[in-house]
Amino acid sequence: MNPMEQIKKSMLKGLTPKGIVKKMMGNNPIFNNLVEMADKGDTKGVETFARNLLKQKGLDYDTEVKNFKNKLGIN
C-alpha cells in the first residue's frame, strides 16, 4: 500500500494528520520535542531545529525554504 493510501486509511479510523505522523515516528524523543515546540507555537525553536538539521546535511535553510516556496508557487 502506498503512503497516501495508508494516510487515507488512518484518517478513516479517526486519526488526525498529527496523530498519523506521531504513530509513524514512534517514541522518538527528538521528534516529540519538535512536536511539543510546534504545539506551544514556538516557531523560533522549530526554525532553529530546521536550520541545524539542514546545516548538518550541508544545506542552507534560506535557500531550501525559498526553493520549497517556489515549488508551491508561494513567493
Q: What is the mean pLDDT of each run of 10 residues along the chain (75 residues)?
A: 72 76 81 90 95 96 94 85
The pLDDT score that the predictor gives to residue 1 is: 64
What count of other Cβ atoms lies within 10 Å of the Cβ of residue 64? 14
- Specify the pTM: 0.64
The pLDDT score that the predictor gives to residue 61 is: 97
Please state, in angstroms and as integers, the Cα–Cα distance from residue 49 to each residue in 10, 16, 21, 26, 38, following that order.
28, 23, 18, 19, 11
Q: In this structure, are residues 46 and 38 in contact, taking their beta carbons and an 8 Å threshold?
A: yes
Q: In this structure, are residues 52 and 39 in contact, taking their beta carbons and an 8 Å threshold?
A: no
The pLDDT score that the predictor gives to residue 32 is: 87
What are the φ/ψ torsions at residue 52 (nearest 5 degrees)? Answer: -65, -40
The pLDDT score that the predictor gives to residue 31 is: 86
The pLDDT score that the predictor gives to residue 24 is: 77
